[in-house]
A and B are shown apart, each in its own frame.
Chain A
């Protein structure tokens, strides 16, 4: 599924979180959405996932204007713990099964196994690394056309990070887009094939990553430093 943002703008009272953004997400690609905190990454994701409505501009799903139905096409994993406090992993699977037609329970069980998680575990007692893995498992088990992962590597141990990246690489849909936001750039260096740099609600730069290496002999980190030099990341 192709997702286009045209002139997308979101204001919260006096603050402009996203400022006239134009972007196209093509199926089959993994995108890095980069930028310091407050640069508009999360707000952009929330608009695409239908959790908040833009003030200006439009989002097109395969050329059609976004409606609430498109919530069914987007699998969004917020950076925070967002499950109900009573839930076990199994309860979360049941919830996704109930609400999302694209949820693949068999795949979910497989991913749990690969990540050393068990269905009877309580969400409340998961470590931050386990919770992060759980979020990836449940989100990727939705065979969604648009997968949005907000800071999936934030604040977790190295082994969990590796497991998460392996899972993303192994299970990214061929006919869908994956967008990963992060302010930790190194981790995504090999994982993504397209990088979008945001600054103060706008797109500062976007590039095919291999092209960047080929033409400018620069890594994403190099480019990040170049773009945000003098700014606090």
Chain B
């Protein structure tokens, strides 16, 4: 994975794991690699990897079974809110881009419908 080196690595990895959860590559309840394995997987510092899990746990994305490992949270509401967050991000980017090109709200909707019907 390519990192931006001027923003915290732990946040970038969390974003990546989130998107893998959303895409279904990682499923709720799945066991995540140990923090050392995570470090090797992403080529990052082991302390940063450990921090990733503690932050994810704080955010409700994962939980730790002591002595067994870290697992992806199974509660659907965190998954739902993640989805919602991602949806919002995509839509707002679309909205801003269209607006800057001069489309009004009605034509945005009609252009989107036209696009979908062609797919």
Residues of A that sit less than 8 Å from B by CB:
28-30, 165-166, 169-170, 172, 174, 186, 189-193, 209-210, 213-214, 217-222
Q: Judge whether B8 and A169 touch: CB under 8 Å.
A: no
A161 to B64, CA, bound (A): 34
List A contacts of B6 (CB < 8 A).
Answer: 213, 217-219, 222
Residues of B that sit less than 8 Å from A by CB:
3, 5-10, 36, 39-40, 42-48, 51
Smallest CB gap from B4: residue in A: A219
Q: Judge whether B7 and A217 touch: CB under 8 Å.
A: yes
List A contacts of B9 (CB < 8 A).
Answer: 190, 210, 213
Among B8, B44, B46, contact of A213 (Cβ-Cβ < 8 Å):
B8
Among B7, B10, B40, B42, contact of A170 (Cβ-Cβ < 8 Å):
B40
Q: Judge whether B51 and A210 touch: CB under 8 Å.
A: yes
Q: Judge whether B43 and A169 touch: CB under 8 Å.
A: yes
Q: Judge whether A170 and B43 touch: CB under 8 Å.
A: no
Among A170, A193, A209, A210, contact of B36 (Cβ-Cβ < 8 Å):
A170
A90 CB to nearest B CB, Å: 27
Interchain residue pairs with CB less than 8 A apart (28): A29-B47, A30-B45, A30-B46, A166-B40, A169-B40, A170-B40, A172-B46, A174-B46, A189-B3, A190-B5, A190-B9, A190-B42, A190-B43, A190-B44, A191-B45, A193-B45, A193-B48, A209-B45, A210-B8, A210-B10, A213-B5, A213-B7, A214-B7, A217-B6, A217-B7, A218-B6, A219-B6, A222-B6
Smallest CB gap from B5: residue in A: A219
A217 to B51, CA, bound (A): 18
List B contacts of A221 (CB < 8 A).
Answer: 5
A217 to B46, CA, bound (A): 21
Q: Judge whether B5 and A189 touch: CB under 8 Å.
A: yes
A220 to B9, CA, bound (A): 12
List A contacts of B36 (CB < 8 A).
Answer: 170
Q: Judge whether A169 and B44 touch: CB under 8 Å.
A: yes
A192 to B36, CA, bound (A): 14
A190 to B46, CA, bound (A): 10
Smallest CB gap from B9: residue in A: A190
A214 to B10, CA, bound (A): 10
List B contacts of A169 (CB < 8 A).
Answer: 39-40, 43-46
A164 CB to nearest B CB, Å: 12
Q: Judge whether A166 and B43 touch: CB under 8 Å.
A: yes
List B contacts of A30 (CB < 8 A).
Answer: 45-47
A214 to B6, CA, bound (A): 8
Q: Judge whether A28 and B47 touch: CB under 8 Å.
A: yes
A30 CB to nearest B CB, Å: 6
List B contacts of A222 (CB < 8 A).
Answer: 6
Q: Judge whether A192 and B45 touch: CB under 8 Å.
A: yes
Smallest CB gap from B37: residue in A: A170
